[in-house]
Amino acid sequence: MSSRIPARWDLEVDVVAVGSGLGSITAALAAHDGGKRVVILDKAPRLGGLCAYGGGEVFVPNSRYMAKIGKQDSDEAARRYFAFLSGGFNEPGLTEKLLATYREAVEYTADQAGVRWEAVDGLDDYYYPDAPGSATGRYLAVEPFDGSQLGDWQSKTWASSPHFPPATHKEMYAWGGLANITKWDYELLGQRVAEDQRTFGPGMMGYFVKAAVVDRKIEAHVGTAVRELITDDDGRVVGVRAEKDGKDFFVRGASGVVLGVGGYDHNKKMAMMHEEAHDWNSATQPYFHGDHLVMGAEIGADTASVPTYNLAMFYGYNIPGEEHDGAPIFRSSWECGCPHAIWVNEAGERFTDESFYKDYQPRVRQWNGRTQTQDNVPPFLIFDTNYRERYPLGSFMPGMDIPEELAVKADTPRELAEKLGIDADGFEKTLARFNEGARDGRDPEFDAGHFSWSNRLAGDPSYPNPNVGVVEKPPFYGVKLSPVGVGINSHGLRTNADAQVLHVRGHAIPGLYAVGISAALLDLGNGYQSGTSNMRAITWGYVAGRHLGGR
Amino acid sequence: MAEVQHTATSTQPIESIWEFVKEIDNWAPMVTGYQEHEKQNENDSTWVLKGDLGSVTRTLKFKVHVTEWAGPERVTFELEGINELMTGKGVFSMSGAGDGDGDGLSEITPPARPGFFARLRDAIVRFFVYKVMGRHESRPPEDRQTSAEPGAVRSELRFSLEISPGGPMGPMINAMVKPALVVAAEDLARDIVARVEAEA
């Protein structure tokens, strides 16, 4: 039963923040600054949550940081841009609150929590620069964070992400993006590792964790999995039952509980049901199992979804033997954005601009009602020796052998197709057609190279078309890809404009809040892009924390 | 290049240490992250280990070639990565008490030994401190331990290892592997001595 109030609480505070990503920690900070006693509980062995593995971009239109680099923006332009992104799948009231609050929330983190933001100069709205209300300079990232400021927590935070070396955004773009990752300044990056200078997601979360557990001395427990919400006779959430060191650990939150436990990337059943993809894998830490949905369901919480085909889902692979905390870690495949690489389906046909994940997501989910199959699943990454001479595959640098369990290798396209189990005739025709355009840097079929995101992040800017190059130099390689989530899920708890979780009967559940990915993305609708998830996590965490503090 | 070194002392004579070390199968499972090894001949073997690199665990396959069996004083070997761009070399040095270049070994009391991950965290912090404080040393700091009672030390085993990650990311990987190597070297030297002591 979820209404079981224990005879004795192990810990009594005002606010229990469950999870330690951006949303939870911002809520903890705001509640603390509102005079509340707060505790942070996280089932992972380190603080920082999902965000600590990410890119650490925060999308903030019309910020003071834009003004510092001489960029113009307006709230009205931002409103038009978010309306474009939403595709009409948002709840206007939530979007309005988000837009009215995000700047205040981010400035709070800078002014009161010491987060050192800076605008990424020269970075446009690199998803849709031609969209209504688009502008340059809206992306914020943090200055490098010195991990030694965390004191005893230094080794109990996510110091590095397996997906991003400790460069800054400015450096990454200046050094040629991910395609040119072998040309980055690794003497500098090695020095950063040695000195625990953190950037990207680990750097961003370093600032937030420091603000909470070092500066404010907010109590935090890692390795503490919250299993159950505890309600009183009136249905108010008054605490949680967690498991710590194999025992129940009852924590009272007199004012309320904030759920910021991410999504369900490591729950294959939920992922299949909600994300329309089989064999879901994840690039995230193995601690996101949909706990918020289970605990919410037990007390009648409502849930909601946004369309699946426009979130941050990629396709990728696991390098054999690569794990984190005992679970396989999957890498999103950026390779498909490089020249000399394409995707094909089992018919040997291209079906998308594979350099832009927003283009391929709806196409991999496309259902063939005549055959009861998703015809573009699985996609196969195909590349040639032109590629291998220039770019890595995951951790396999040019010149290294790639293990056969990861990549199939063949001397001819036909042999490669046969080894991969794809239609050889179709594949040969596809290559001939693609190469004809690629010689001129064109992709007449799918217009690869059109999007700024693909050009900047995944493409090679030294090419006339950063995302297109012929695939013709033997030997050829093929990798069967799997869905790889990055923790941005389509289904979450339904919340109101105060970040309170709604009951299926429509009223707010007193004492229960959801933030970050645990809250359904109805504020954005169909409008995910890099940085919006972090922005909304900060915003709704700020809203929840202030509401808990009576403001 | 990441370079680590650890010395452990024993109440047993140098010959006993040598008898144990000269047979790879004896101590292979004591190597941190050990998965398997296969001997091709007296000098050559292939190894599979699991090791932490930043926040991920990687499976490392590499070849070992023994370049010198100079018992009972020394075994030297070279490493070459199979699935990682990496080379390295190492030495097991055995000496009688007072023969090595250490001093005061017998006056050190053996501390309690916490778990691997706790010590890895300590090593990471130590490593940060050395770097941040600018205390770069020509040789890594040794963490001498002894399992012997004062005055009972008869031999010491020193394990030295140098790893040079290759490829463009080498300098960064080098910084990432160093803390784990410190702990791994400590474990291996101490565990070998402990086993020799136990079997005496």
Amino acid at B100: G
Contact assignment for A193 to B127 by CB distance below 8 Å: no
A155 touches chain B (CB under 8 A): yes
Residue-level pLDDT at B114 = 53
Residues of chain B found within 8 Å of residue A166, distances taken between Cβ atoms: 172
Q: Are B181 and B53 in contact (CB under 8 A)?
A: no
| Partner residue facing B56 (CB), from A184, A190, A323 | A323
Per-residue model confidence as pLDDT tens digits over B147-158: 555 567 889 999
Q: In 10 A of CB A493, how many CB atoms?
A: 26
DSSP 3-state of A133: coil
As given in the structure block, the two tokens for residue A477 are 């390689």
Residues of chain A found within 8 Å of residue B121, distances taken between Cβ atoms: 155
- Average pLDDT taken over every residue of chain B: 78
Residue-level pLDDT at B144 = 43
The pLDDT tens digits along chain A (551 residues) read 445 799 999 999 999 999 999 999 999 999 999 999 999 999 999 999 999 999 999 999 999 999 999 999 999 999 999 999 999 999 999 999 999 999 999 999 999 999 999 999 877 777 888 899 999 999 999 999 999 999 999 999 999 999 999 999 989 988 988 888 888 999 999 999 999 999 999 999 999 999 999 999 999 999 999 999 999 999 999 999 999 999 999 999 999 999 999 999 999 999 999 998 899 999 999 999 999 999 999 999 999 999 988 777 899 999 998 999 989 999 999 899 999 999 999 999 999 999 999 999 999 999 999 999 999 999 999 999 999 999 999 988 888 889 999 999 999 999 999 999 999 999 999 999 999 999 999 999 999 999 888 998 889 999 999 999 999 999 999 999 999 999 999 999 999 999 999 999 999 999 999 999 999 999 999 988 899 999 999 999 999 999 999 88
Residue-level pLDDT at B180 = 81
Q: What percentage of chain B reaches a pLDDT higher than 70?
A: 72
Residue with tokens 């990056």: A189
Q: Are A44 and A279 in contact (CB under 8 A)?
A: no
As given in the structure block, the two tokens for residue B15 are 């010959």
Which of A161, A178, A186, A393 best tests the B interface by mutation, with the highest count of B CBs <10 A?
A186
Compute the residue count for chain A: 551
Q: In chain B, which residue's Cα lies nearest the Cα of A155?
A: B121
Residues of chain B found within 8 Å of residue A189, distances taken between Cβ atoms: 169, 171-172
Contact assignment for B121 to A395 by CB distance below 8 Å: no
Comparing C-alpha atoms, which of A314, A306, A336 is closest to residue A487? A314
Q: In chain A, which residue's Cα lies nearest the Cα of B48?
A: A321
Residue with tokens 């070399």: B89
Cis peptide before B29 (omega within 30 of 0): no
Residues of chain B found within 8 Å of residue A323, distances taken between Cβ atoms: 50, 56-57
As given in the structure block, the two tokens for residue A353 are 């601009």
Residue-level pLDDT at B99 = 55
- b/e string for A54-76 if b means 16 or more Cβ within 10 A? bbbbbbbbbbebbeeeebebeee
Contact assignment for A196 to B58 by CB distance below 8 Å: no
Residue-level pLDDT at A189 = 93
Q: Are B153 and B102 in contact (CB under 8 A)?
A: no
Per-residue model confidence as pLDDT tens digits over B21-38: 999 999 999 998 999 999
Residues of chain A found within 8 Å of residue B83, distances taken between Cβ atoms: 400-401, 403
Residues of chain A found within 8 Å of residue B117, distances taken between Cβ atoms: none
DSSP 3-state of A153: helix
Q: Are β-strands A327-328 and A303-305 bridged in parallel, bridged antiparallel, or unpaired?
A: unpaired
Residues of chain A found within 8 Å of residue B132, distances taken between Cβ atoms: 148, 195-196
> Can you tell me the distance from the alpha carbon of A27 to that of A498, in angstroms, rounded to the nearest whole number?
12
As given in the structure block, the two tokens for residue A510 are 């007193």
Residue with tokens 């925060």: A58
Residues of chain A found within 8 Å of residue B168, distances taken between Cβ atoms: 182-184, 186, 397
Cα diameter, chain B? 49
> Can you tell me the distance from the alpha carbon of A481 to that of A302, in angstroms, rounded to the nearest whole number?
34
Contact assignment for B175 to A161 by CB distance below 8 Å: no
Q: Are A410 and A421 in contact (CB under 8 A)?
A: no
Contact assignment for A162 to B174 by CB distance below 8 Å: no
Contact assignment for B172 to A162 by CB distance below 8 Å: no
Comparing C-alpha atoms, which of B21, B171, B193, B191 is closest to residue B91? B21
Contact assignment for B85 to A400 by CB distance below 8 Å: yes
Q: Indicate whether this complex's ipTM tops 0.85.
A: no
Q: Residue A75: how many CA atoms within 13 Å on its side-chain side?
A: 10
Contact assignment for B127 to A183 by CB distance below 8 Å: no
Q: Are A537 and A24 in contact (CB under 8 A)?
A: no
The pLDDT tens digits along chain B (200 residues) read 888 899 999 999 999 999 999 999 999 999 989 999 999 999 999 999 998 888 888 889 999 999 999 989 999 999 999 988 899 999 999 998 655 444 333 333 344 455 555 555 555 544 444 443 333 333 444 444 545 555 678 899 999 999 999 888 888 888 888 888 888 888 899 999 999 999 88
CA of A150, closest CA in chain B: separation in Å?
A: 11
Ordered domains of chain A (ranges, CATH):
11-226+511-548 (3.50.50.60), 334-480 (3.90.700.10)
CA of A144, closest CA in chain B: separation in Å?
A: 15
Q: In chain B, which residue's Cα lies nearest the Cα of A330?
A: B56
Which of A180, A192, A193 best tests the B interface by mutation, with the highest count of B CBs <10 A?
A193
Residue with tokens 């270049």: B101
Q: Which of residues 17-56 of B touch A (CB under 8 A)?
A: 50, 54-56
Residue-level pLDDT at A130 = 86
Comparing C-alpha atoms, which of A246, A208, A253 is closest to residue A230? A253
Q: How far is CA B157 from CA A111, B93, B192, in A?
A: 55, 6, 9
Q: How far is CA B6 from CA A145, A511, B22, B109, in A?
A: 32, 55, 18, 16
Q: In chain B, which residue's Cα lies nearest the Cα of A166?
A: B172
Residues of chain B found within 8 Å of residue A147, distances taken between Cβ atoms: 128
Query: What residues have CB less than 8 Å from B162, skipping those under 6 apart?
Result: B1, B2, B3, B88, B89, B90
Per-residue model confidence as pLDDT tens digits over B98-117: 554 443 333 333 444 555 55
A394 touches chain B (CB under 8 A): no
What angle, 0 to 180 degrees and rounded to 10, lies between the N-to-C axes of helices A200-209 and A22-33? 20
Domain residue ranges in chain B? 2-199
Q: In chain B, which residue's Cα lies nearest the Cα of A283?
A: B56
Residue-level pLDDT at A2 = 47
A120 touches chain B (CB under 8 A): no
As given in the structure block, the two tokens for residue A489 are 């899920």
Q: What is the DSSP letter of A456?
A: I
Q: Which of residues 117-176 of B touch A (CB under 8 A)?
A: 121, 124-125, 127-128, 131-132, 167-176
Ordered DSSP codes for A414-453: HHHHHHHTS-HHHHHHHHHHHHHHHTTT--TTT-TT--HH
Contact assignment for A193 to B172 by CB distance below 8 Å: yes
Q: What is the DSSP letter of A373?
A: B
Host H or E run for residue A143: none
Contact assignment for A155 to B56 by CB distance below 8 Å: no
Fold of B2-199: Alpha-D-Glucose-1,6-Bisphosphate; Chain A, domain 4 (3.30.530)
Q: Are A29 and A113 in contact (CB under 8 A)?
A: yes
Contact assignment for B54 to A184 by CB distance below 8 Å: no
Residue-level pLDDT at A242 = 98
Q: How far is CA A243 from CA A236, A475, B104, in A?
A: 21, 53, 48
Comparing C-alpha atoms, which of A392, A151, A458, A198 is closest to residue B54? A198
> Can you tell me the distance from the alpha carbon of A47 to that of A221, in angstroms, rounded to the nearest whole number?
9
